[in-house]
């Protein structure tokens, strides 16, 4: 039997034991008293509040000379400007998409860490089992962290391919 299988089996046995035996649970008040609020200076939030982005209005391009060649040149310039506006709008959308993915990744990681730490600190265990669970919790958090970072790192590549 592999080490991972033994750890999984031990984890399941301990989980069943502690779930069935309410006296090993720490009260919600005691668990909440161990939590702390992040300091105000630890996170600097950007001033961007969302909302509609500034739009671009295309000026009408008039032909330099009133002949067929001048009208064609004006029409080509109008198309170039239209393409520029579309690229600008896509870039702004990509920038907002990056922000949304980062916020989502942060929230998923925060919920995962909270759930694991609440479970870890919410049960009274022997010291040896605490060590096993600490390692297992660290492994779970590392897997979650790497998965979220993989999404955050691949998102700009996908956006760049679309742009």
Residue 47: which pLDDT band, with cuts at 50, 70 and 90?
very low
Full-prediction pTM beyond 0.75?
A: no
**In which domain, by residue range, is 155 found?**
1-14+98-163
Is 154 within the bounds of a domain?
A: yes
Is 162 within the bounds of a domain?
A: yes
* Percentage, residues of the chain above pLDDT 70: 82
Residue 138: which pLDDT band, with cuts at 50, 70 and 90?
very high
CA distance linking residue 71 with residue 65, whole number of Å: 8
Looking from the CA of 152 toward its CB, the CA atoms found within 13 Å total: 17
H or E segment and range at residue 38: none
Is 41 within the bounds of a domain?
A: no
Q: How many CB atoms lie within 10 A of CB 32?
A: 9
pLDDT tens string 5-31: 777 777 777 777 766 666 666 777 777
CA distance linking residue 98 with residue 157, whole number of Å: 11
Count structural domains, the chain: 1
CB 152 within 8 A of CB 102: yes
């Amino acid at each position: 039997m592999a080490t991972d299988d033994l750890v999984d089996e031990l984890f399941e046995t301990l989980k069943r034991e502690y779930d069935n035996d309410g006296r090993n649970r720490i009260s919600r008040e005691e668990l909440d008293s161990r939590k702390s609020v992040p300091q105000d200076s630890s996170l600097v939030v950007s001033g961007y509040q969302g909302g509609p982005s500034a739009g671009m209005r295309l000026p009408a391009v008039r032909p330099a000379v009133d002949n067929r060649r001048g009208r064609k040149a004006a029409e080509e310039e109008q198309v170039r400007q239209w393409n520029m506006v579309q690229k600008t709008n896509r870039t702004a959308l990509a920038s907002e998409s990056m922000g949304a993915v980062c916020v989502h990744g942060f929230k998923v990681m925060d919920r995962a860490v909270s759930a694991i730490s609440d479970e870890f600190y919410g049960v009274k265990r022997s010291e040896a089992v605490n060590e096993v669970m600490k390692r297992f919790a660290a492994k779970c958090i590392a897997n979650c962290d790497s998965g979220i970072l993989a999404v955050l790192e691949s998102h700009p590549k996908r956006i760049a391919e679309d742009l």
